[in-house]
């Protein structure tokens, strides 16, 4: 039944679009996971050493910016496919 539904959907939409949609989802998931890890580590670090909070925050934003650049690349590419 699941396959039947999937087939019905694919005939309407086209495989490329499904791939692009899944790609966006995967990129968002991966970026969320990565930034979540950075955030949790930064929280721990700030809790251990509150006086270094501003340094840690800045480095956290730099690392998060690198991750979000990669995920945005993939989202832009997926957006072109859509």
Partner 1 sequence: MSNFFRIFGLLLALLFLPSTLVEGSASSSDVNQESELNVKEFILHHVADAYEWHITRIGTKQITIPLPVIVYSKYTGWHVFLSSRFHENVVYQGFAISKSEKFTGKIVEIEQSGTERRPFDISLTKNALSLIISSSLLILVFMSVAKSYKKQGFYPKGKFVAFTEMFVMNIYEEVIKPCVGKDYKRYAPYLLTLFFFIFINNILGLIPVFPGGANVTGNITITFVLAFITFLIVNITGTKEYWKEILWPDVPVWLKAPIPFMPVIELAGIFMKPFALMIRLFANMLAGHSITLALVSVIFVTAKMGAATHTGMTALSVFFSVFLGFVELLVAYIQAYVFTMLTAVFIGLGRVESHKKAKV
Spatial distance between the Cα atoms of 27 and 7, rounded to a whole number of angstroms: 25
Spatial distance between the Cα atoms of 7 and 2, rounded to a whole number of angstroms: 9
| CB of 64 closer than 8 Å to CB of 35 | yes
Asked whether position 13 contacts partner 1 by CB under 8 A, the answer is no
Minimum separation from the CB atom of position 69 to partner 1 (A): 4
Stretch that binds partner 1, among 13-21, 35-43, 45-53, 56-64 (CB under 8 A): 56-64
Q: Interface with partner 1 by CB under 8 A: which residues?
A: 54-55, 58, 61-62, 65-66, 68-69, 72-73, 75-76
């Amino acid at each position: 039944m699941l396959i039947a539904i999937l087939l019905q959907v694919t005939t309407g939409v086209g495989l490329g679009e499904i791939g692009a949609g899944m790609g966006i989802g995967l990129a968002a998931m991966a970026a969320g996971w990565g930034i979540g890890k950075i955030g949790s580590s930064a929280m721990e670090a700030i809790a251990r050493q509150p006086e270094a909070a501003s340094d840690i925050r800045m480095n956290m934003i730099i690392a998060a910016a690198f991750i979000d650049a990669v995920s945005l690349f993939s989202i832009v590419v997926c957006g072109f496919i859509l």
